[in-house]
Amino acid sequence: MAEKKTGTVNDHVIEQKGVQWVDSLEAEDFSPHIPKDEFDARISKARALLAKHGIDAMVLFAYDNKYYYGGYRESNIRYSHRWRHCLIVSQEHEPIFVGESVLANSVRRTTWIKDVRTWSQIKLWRLPVRFIDVFLDTMKSLCLDNKVIAMEYGPEYVLEVSIDEVREIERSLPNAKFVSADRVVWEQRMIKTPWEIELMRVTCEKAGRVLSKGWRSIRPGLTERDIHRIIWEEYVKEDMYDAIDITNITLFFCGSDGPGKWRLVSTPFYDRVIREGDQGFADSGPTYKGYWTDFQRSFYVGKKLPPKMEDLSKWGRDAYLNTVRNIVPGMRGCDIFKLAEKETYRQDWNQAVPIDFVGHGIGLLNHEQPWFSPDDLTELAPGMVVCVEVGCFGNDLVYFGNMPEDIYLVTETGLEKLGIDFPLEIFLCG
């Protein structure tokens, strides 16, 4: 045990059992999640967009936005008010982290944020005991208490704050004007940076190895739980067991003993033994350094597809490829939906798009803007990373069908595939 020393933490001397508790800035390695130039470029772009949209500052509680703009990641999602924290990004100031004191060390070790303002209900630390008090003091010290403040009012965030707390913030700053942060956030996050694009390439390569191993392991005699275990093991080998962003592969199984009785095989997992004649569908994918993957393939357990499944396999593949090959920058999300719908009908007049979108953006979430849906007017632009998912299905539900999905980078002329090298037809297992 070290000798008792004189030191300070937030200007307060704190001693316990002869040990001086200090923030050991020089004693531990600094390991930022994102490079300094990437951090600076994101903040610079955010400031320009804030100015463009007449917003003075953003107050960010969403886990994905705190990572994107602050480089701050967590070991778990802290929904509880006991660890309440946020990131303030403004036109005129450096980013500021306001949060419970237990988080401060991680911020200093893994981010480029220099201004950290803390609170704690542990009175020993002699800090303010409520988040709201430190937050309001920060906003007033930055002269933001009577400005235009953006918050994450939109639907596509993993928020770590309650509605009651948001309302308290609004009431406590009566002279501020509150607006949605969506225009700034998605105008920026939809276009991936070169660093993100390279990371997505690596992520897709890793995911390809994980999923190929898992899907090729499906065969009679194994249980559904066995397949998940194989996939989980590959997660770990590829460093894709990436809490808090870990996702289980979604597997739909339709057993040969119950035609048309489809069920989602996620948690709880099943110990049902896989048999010849089973069919199914795999969706989603593992994550790496916070970035998601999302792939789809269909499979059939047996040596040969039934005739109807042969048709669905070909129709789904062709509808998908014809859609992908005709997507170019400038098309709107609704245009891409209509294209996919047309290509689906081209295969068989009785077909229909089974969900209300045929693709979406991907990045720090597995579903991001833009959406390839009838109501999305967003224009496709170079630098976007998107998923395309189009297929054909058996309307009687006896045979599921085929809907491939892969990840693409939008280039100046079309789409560049970042996805896995795996057949687009229904895959024969066993």
pLDDT at site 51? 99
pLDDT at site 21? 45
Average pLDDT over residues 63-70: 96
What average pLDDT does the structure give for the chain? 88
pLDDT at 23 over 90: no
pLDDT at site 330? 98
- pLDDT range class, residue 420, cuts 50, 70, 90: confident
pLDDT at site 3? 44
Q: pLDDT tens-digit profile of 180-190?
A: 999 999 999 99
- pLDDT range class, residue 284, cuts 50, 70, 90: confident
Q: Which fold has domain 31-187?
A: Creatine Amidinohydrolase; Chain A, domain 1 (3.40.350)
pLDDT at site 182? 96
Q: Evaluate whether 31-187 and 194-429 have a shared fold.
A: no
Place of tokens 């048999």: 275
pLDDT at site 8? 36
pLDDT at site 245? 57
Percent residues over pLDDT 70 in the chain: 86
Domain ranges of the chain: 31-187, 194-429
- pLDDT range class, residue 11, cuts 50, 70, 90: very low
- pLDDT range class, residue 241, cuts 50, 70, 90: confident
Q: pLDDT tens-digit profile of 85-103?
A: 999 999 999 999 999 999 9
Q: pLDDT tens-digit profile of 290-347?
A: 999 999 999 999 999 999 999 999 999 999 999 999 999 999 999 999 999 999 999 9
pLDDT at site 282? 86
Q: Identify the weakest region by mean pLDDT among 32-41, 147-156, 230-239.
A: 230-239
- pLDDT range class, residue 265, cuts 50, 70, 90: low
pLDDT at site 20? 42
pLDDT at site 251? 67
Q: pLDDT tens-digit profile of 105-154?
A: 999 999 999 999 999 999 888 999 999 999 999 999 999 999 999 999 99
- Are the C-beta atoms of 54 and 148 separated by less than 8 Å? yes
pLDDT at 411 over 50: yes
194-429, superfamily in CATH? Creatinase/methionine aminopeptidase superfamily (3.90.230.10)
pLDDT at site 143? 98
pTM comes to 0.90
pLDDT at 9 over 50: no
